[in-house]
Amino acid sequence: MISNIIPGLIMILTSFLLPTIPQYFRHPAMLLSVGLSALSLFNGYGTFLEWDVLGLNLILYQSDSLTFPFSIIFHIAAVLVIIFSWHSKNLMEHMATLAYAGSAIGALHAGDFFSLFIWWEATALTSVFIVFAGNTKAARDAAMRYLIIQVSSGVLLLIGACLLLYQTGNHNLTVLDLTTDFGIFIFIAFGIKAAFPFLNGWLQDSYPESSVTGTVALSAFTTKLAIYALARTFPGTDSLIWIGAIMTAFPVFFAVIENDLRRVLSFSLNNQLGFMVVGIGIGTELSLNGTVAHAFVHIIYKALLFMSMGAVLYRAGTTKASELGGLYKYMPFTTIFCIIGAMSISAFPLFSGFVAKSLIMSSLGGMGMVLIYFILFFASAGVLEHSGIKIPYFAFFAHERKSKVKEAPINMLIAMGIAAVLCIGIGVFPKYLYQILPYTVEYQPYTIDHVISQLQLLVFAIIAFLFLVKFKLYPSEIRSIVLNSDWFYRKMLPGIGKPLFKKIGLLTELIYENLRFFFKLILNKSQKFSNSSYIKVTTPSFAATILISILFIMLLIVLI
């Protein structure tokens, strides 16, 4: 029965078959597998597949009102990525992408921590090949760091799951808190993948190093799987409100000065996750709906923005702000799609970001959390700065371009077009999004107060931008990198570790030298002794002398 097959599994199986399929049919086959997997969306809610193994009851396939919206959007994202990469012949990347999307969908439907762990590691192992497929030295190095961090997250999850089973006898996905040790392990495991403050370095390190198409795939799944996992196990955990608020505010400053536009988008992705984490922290039905809605629309507009920058990278050969500008003339469609993505993420009314973010803001306002409310309001101006203005401005406008480039290939335009239509469609008809959210909540995002308030914020932030550019206060693009939390393990730890190990090395060498000298001494003495001319009759042989010496030393050691 098809209803008993884990969603996503068919995508993973298809990915293994891809090398046997002729190049021409690979993308249709990939799309077909996503379509077959998506049939699971019609199964309804319930537990469909369990497996008793090693005395454990693993729930391999379950679905409910929380998995459903995530499953829909993961399937949509997979389709967008496949269409966007239609021109590409990179087999390894296609296999990795399909298996990665399949693993993420499988993870959504896991009903216990051990099955979740397996899928959790599967997403890590499959996605690292997407980073590898960037096929530069920087990409390969970043992939190794990415793998270490992602696998560490999995190991922490496994430790947490084992402790949970040992201490409570239960390993099903349940609501946990931070008063238990297993709760803390699992929280950090999820926190790494959700790019919590100081655990976020891997994201900005690896995503921009991936290929034109790879980054689009990466942006959709890992972090949103972590958001799903947090929403399932830690709803209403107070510390998440502050963690989320810091996540919304801090990446904003890094994004302002970052030169690589795909890295700017990675900082922006981090800031968007912050909004979702705040929603989980509040833990009301309205705020959890807000988190899910935000994850849903975010995957689409973030993919759209990464696709537009992918198209720029594909045609212009770089996404460095300092090298770009003036592309609007040559890539008009990409420009329009990018602006639609930018307006969606900035939460302009009638675009998808607005109808999702409103839910989280309203739940904050309703609970009277004034400080967090204004941190998020402030961060909204920040989103407009880096994703709303900086991305389209530096890529497509800024100054005239001297050399010509071509418009993006047709498959890229189709993928971007679909995403753009979804961004506007959801913004104009939010009720279709609200219908699939976990809780039934009556909510109207388009009130006059709300629309005017948001428009004032955005329009005057744009005026501030024009003002800063006019008076030459806006930071110019400089070929550079910005330090991030990956600095701690890329520079600081080696900085401490290398001299330290050098010292230890010198010390061991010194000890070794002394030992060698000592043994040489014994050797010489015994040789002299055995060769001496005046003892002729009972001279012990050379070997015997050494043995006796060693025994003597051992006796000394034992005595001491």
Partner 1 sequence: MKKNDLKSMGKSFTKYILIIGALLILLDFTFHRHEYFSFAEIYGFPAFFGFISFVFIVLLGKWLRKFLMRKEDYYDQ
Element (H, E) at 27: helix 23-38
- Our finding on whether 460 is near partner 1 (CB under 8 A) is yes
Name which of 309, 313, 308 is nearest 420 in CA terms: 308
Closest contact distance (angstroms) between CB of 385 and partner 1 is 6
- Our finding on whether 474 is near partner 1 (CB under 8 A) is yes
- Our finding on whether 252 is near partner 1 (CB under 8 A) is yes
DSSP character string of 174-196: ----TTSHHHHHHHHHHHHHTT-
When binding is defined by CB under 8 A, the residue of 175, 483, 496, 504 that contacts partner 1 is 483
- Our finding on whether 209 is near partner 1 (CB under 8 A) is no
Stretch that binds partner 1, among 50-58, 85-93, 167-175, 371-379 (CB under 8 A): 371-379
When binding is defined by CB under 8 A, the residue of 482, 522, 523, 546 that contacts partner 1 is 482
When binding is defined by CB under 8 A, the residue of 73, 203, 461, 526 that contacts partner 1 is 461
- Our finding on whether 467 is near partner 1 (CB under 8 A) is yes
Q: Could you list the beta-strand ranges (E) of 35-117.
A: 46-53, 56-63
Query: Of 8 and 281, which has the nearer Cβ to partner 1?
Result: 281
- Our finding on whether 405 is near partner 1 (CB under 8 A) is no
Element (H, E) at 144: helix 137-168
Closest contact distance (angstroms) between CB of 346 and partner 1 is 11
- Our finding on whether 442 is near partner 1 (CB under 8 A) is no
- Our finding on whether 140 is near partner 1 (CB under 8 A) is no
Distance CA 220, CA 132 (A): 17
Query: Of 46 and 495, which has the nearer Cβ to partner 1?
Result: 495
Q: Are the C-beta atoms of residues 99 and 126 closer than 8 Å to each other?
A: yes
Closest contact distance (angstroms) between CB of 493 and partner 1 is 13
- In three state form, how does the secondary structure of 391-443 look? HHHHHHCCCCCCCCCCCCCHHHHHHHHHHHHHHHHHHHCHHHHHHCCCCCCCC
- Our finding on whether 489 is near partner 1 (CB under 8 A) is no
Phi, psi of 22 (to 5 degrees): -60, 145
Query: Of 483 and 504, which has the nearer Cβ to partner 1?
Result: 483
In the structure encoding, which two tokens stand for residue 446, read together?
């388009």
Name which of 21, 206, 203 is nearest 98 in CA terms: 21
Distance CA 52, CA 308 (A): 46
Stretch that binds partner 1, among 65-73, 169-177, 472-480, 523-531 (CB under 8 A): 472-480
Q: Which residues bind partner 1 (CB under 8 A)?
A: 252-257, 326, 329, 362, 364-366, 368, 370, 373-374, 377-378, 381-382, 384-385, 397-400, 448-449, 452-468, 473-475, 478-483, 490-491
